[in-house]
């Protein structure tokens, strides 16, 4: 930057021109310095912000990696639990089929038992009748033997 020198030959107009010319030059210099300071400040702020964002990016990347590991671990656990659940369901279905089969067998055996009880009751009734008839016949035989013994004595 080069400032004009005032000469003693100049008039007031020359002095005013010199001041005006120097004011514009000074204003331009001040504006350039202000813009440079603003840009430098903006650059520093953005560099700090960029550094913070890089740190946050690293932190989030690490956190994302840990979360993905957790997701993989939980997914593996879920797969194991689902497999175990499928096995349990299969066992339950088998047990239910066996239970149903045993229930049908129990009903069949209950029906056979009822039939056998009824048959046994009928045979018991017949046995009781036969025992009664036997006792009656034995009593009659005893009476006949007694009567025969009494007739022989006479």
- Give the span between the Cα atoms of 18 and 4, in whole angstroms: 6
Count how many Cα atoms sit within 13 Å of the Cα of residue 7 in the half-sphere of its side chain: 4
Mean pLDDT of the region 137-150: 87
User: Among 5, 7, 9, 37, which residue's Cα sits nearest to residue 22?
Assistant: 5
Q: Which residues contact 7 (CB under 8 A, 6 or more apart)?
A: 14
Q: Which position has the higher pLDDT, 74 or 22?
A: 74
Residue 17, pLDDT score: 61
10 alpha carbon, distance to own chain's centre: 95
pLDDT digits (tens, 9 = 90+) for 103-120: 999 999 999 999 999 999
State if pTM tops 0.75.
no
Q: Assess contact for 24 and 6: CB atoms under 8 A.
A: no
Residue 9, pLDDT score: 53
- DSSP string of 21-37? HHHHHHHHHHHHHHHHH
Mean pLDDT of the region 25-37: 89
Q: Assess contact for 15 and 4: CB atoms under 8 A.
A: no
Banded pLDDT at 21 (limits 50, 70, 90): low
């Amino acid at each position: 930057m080069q400032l004009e020198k005032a000469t003693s030959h100049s008039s007031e107009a020359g002095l005013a021109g010199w001041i005006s010319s120097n004011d514009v030059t000074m204003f331009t210099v001040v504006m350039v310095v202000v813009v440079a300071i603003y840009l430098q400040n903006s650059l520093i702020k953005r560099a700090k912000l960029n550094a913070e964002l890089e740190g946050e990016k690293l932190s989030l990347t690490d956190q994302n990696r840990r979360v993905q590991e957790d997701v993989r671990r939980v997914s593996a656990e879920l797969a194991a639990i689902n497999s175990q659940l499928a096995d349990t369901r299969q066992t339950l279905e088998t047990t239910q089929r066996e239970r149903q089969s045993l229930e049908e067998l129990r009903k069949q055996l209950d029906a056979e038992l009822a039939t056998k009880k009824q048959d046994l009751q009928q045979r018991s009734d017949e046995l009781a009748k036969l025992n009664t008839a036997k006792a009656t016949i034995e009593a009659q035989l005893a009476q006949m033997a007694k009567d025969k013994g009494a007739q022989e004595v006479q």
